[in-house]
């Protein structure tokens, strides 16, 4: 069956800005690989790059972005650059974003995301851990993700970021943000989403509440294990495309932004060349989780940061 090519789309955010629905992910990309990957991506047509403080490659992302802007006719406002505040920085977001902007050599980012829904202790490095390897969090009773978000939103008026949002969040916690009167709604949430963890409820809830969802680890993270799933392989054969193309096309067909990471030039090119899937295939892939459910990424916290709705302090 001949595949119908699908171009990258700009999705409208709830604050009027737009976001390209395919981005290059950069987690685990070493500084040199990251520079080359971002440059290859931008030359291939990507306009959206996803990095984070914790990836330790903001300098490489910034160098590639600025070199590309100097060498091309593309303007800064045509690009969408995301970085993330690490939980150990949650109590001082202004210093955190200024440090990220310095590393990126940019005046602003398009999206600044809280990397988790729980704060960590400060002064003990990027991922403070206890003697058993657990990340050292601050009790939500003392400083919750809502408190952090309240500080984060001030960065918009200061011009350091155009939009804000949160990663690794669930429906009750998004609801809490939407219901808290002095908070602006998040423009974006970024979560692990793929055929083994489709998060149908979260995707539907965000759609209904005008919050754009970004799907991270869309190939199942390191080594792309999802690409061996028999249904993904079968659908790929039907359209004559790669399994990666199917997994990523499924993500955009659901209206999510997708963030494939690669430092391999051929894959970077493949991952932006998406197709239109029939509704029946979108639904077939959306039901794979009934046979196989898996969350690939779980940081070692002493509280359940992914599923629980208990780790926020109720409003006083």
- Choosing from 106, 220, 272, 277, the residue that interacts with ligand NAP (CB under 6 A) is 220
Q: Would you give the binding string for ligand NAP spanning residues 2-41, x where CB under 6 A is met? A: -----------------------xxx--------------
Residue 100 CA to residue 83 CA, distance in Å, equals 8
Active site (annotated) includes residue 55? yes
Q: Would you give the binding string for ligand NAP spanning residues 117-156, x where CB under 6 A is met? A: ----------------------------------------
Label residue 314 exposed, middle or buried (CB < 10 Å: 0-12, 13-18, 19+). Answer: exposed
Does position 249 bind ligand NAP by CB under 6 A?
no
Nearest to 186 by CA among 149, 140, 147, 145: 149
- Choosing from 105, 210, 222, 293, the residue that interacts with ligand NAP (CB under 6 A) is 222
Quick check: 111 and 165 in contact, CB under 8 A?
A: yes
- HSE-up of 158 (CA within 13 Å, CB side)? 17
Report in angstroms the alpha-carbon separations of 303 from 103, 113, 119, 136. 32, 21, 12, 10
- Per the DSSP assignment, residues forming a β-bridge with 214 are 190, 257
Does position 110 bind ligand NAP by CB under 6 A?
no
List the structure tokens of 128.
Answer: 């403070």
- Choosing from 223, 237, 293, 302, the residue that interacts with ligand NAP (CB under 6 A) is 223
- Choosing from 86, 256, 271, 273, the residue that interacts with ligand NAP (CB under 6 A) is 271
Binding site for ligand NAP (CB under 6 A): 25-27, 50, 115, 167-168, 190, 216-224, 227, 242, 244, 259-264, 267, 270-271, 297
Enumerate the active-site residues.
55
């Amino acid at each position: 069956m001949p595949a119908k090519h699908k171009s990258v789309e700009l999705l409208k955010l709830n604050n009027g800005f737009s976001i390209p629905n395919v981005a290059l992910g950069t987690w685990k990309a070493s500084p040199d690989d990251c520079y080359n990957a971002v440059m290859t991506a931008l030359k291939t047509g990507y306009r959206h790059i996803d990095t984070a403080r914790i990836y330790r490659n903001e300098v490489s992302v910034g160098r590639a972005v600025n070199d590309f802007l100097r060498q091309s006719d593309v303007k800064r406002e045509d690009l969408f650059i995301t970085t993330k505040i690490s939980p150990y920085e949650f109590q001082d977001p202004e210093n955190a974003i200024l440090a990220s902007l310095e590393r990126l050599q940019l005046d602003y980012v398009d999206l600044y995301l809280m990397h988790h829904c729980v704060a960590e202790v400060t002064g003990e490095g990027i991922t403070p851990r206890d003697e058993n390897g657990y990340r050292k969090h601050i009790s939500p009773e003392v400083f919750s993700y809502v408190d952090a978000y309240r500080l984060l939103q001030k960065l918009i008026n200061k011009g350091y970021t155009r939009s804000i949002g949160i990663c690794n969040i669930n429906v009750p916690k998004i609801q809490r943000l939407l219901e808290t009167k002095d908070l602006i709604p998040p423009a974006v949430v970024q979560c692990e989403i793929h055929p083994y963890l489709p998060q149908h409820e979260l995707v539907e809830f965000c759609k209904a509440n005008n919050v754009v969802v970004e799907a991270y680890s869309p190939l199942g993270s390191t080594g792309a294990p999802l690409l061996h799933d028999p249904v993904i392989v079968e659908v790929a054969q039907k359209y004559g495309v790669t399994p990666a193309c199917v997994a990523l096309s499924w993500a955009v067909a659901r209206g999510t932004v997708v963030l494939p990471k690669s430092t391999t030039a051929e894959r970077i090119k493949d991952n932006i060349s998406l197709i239109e899937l029939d509704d029946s295939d979108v639904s077939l892939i959306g039901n794979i989780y009934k046979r196989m459910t898996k969350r690939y990424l779980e940081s070692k916290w002493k509280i359940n940061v992914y599923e629980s709705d208990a780790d926020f302090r109720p409003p006083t």
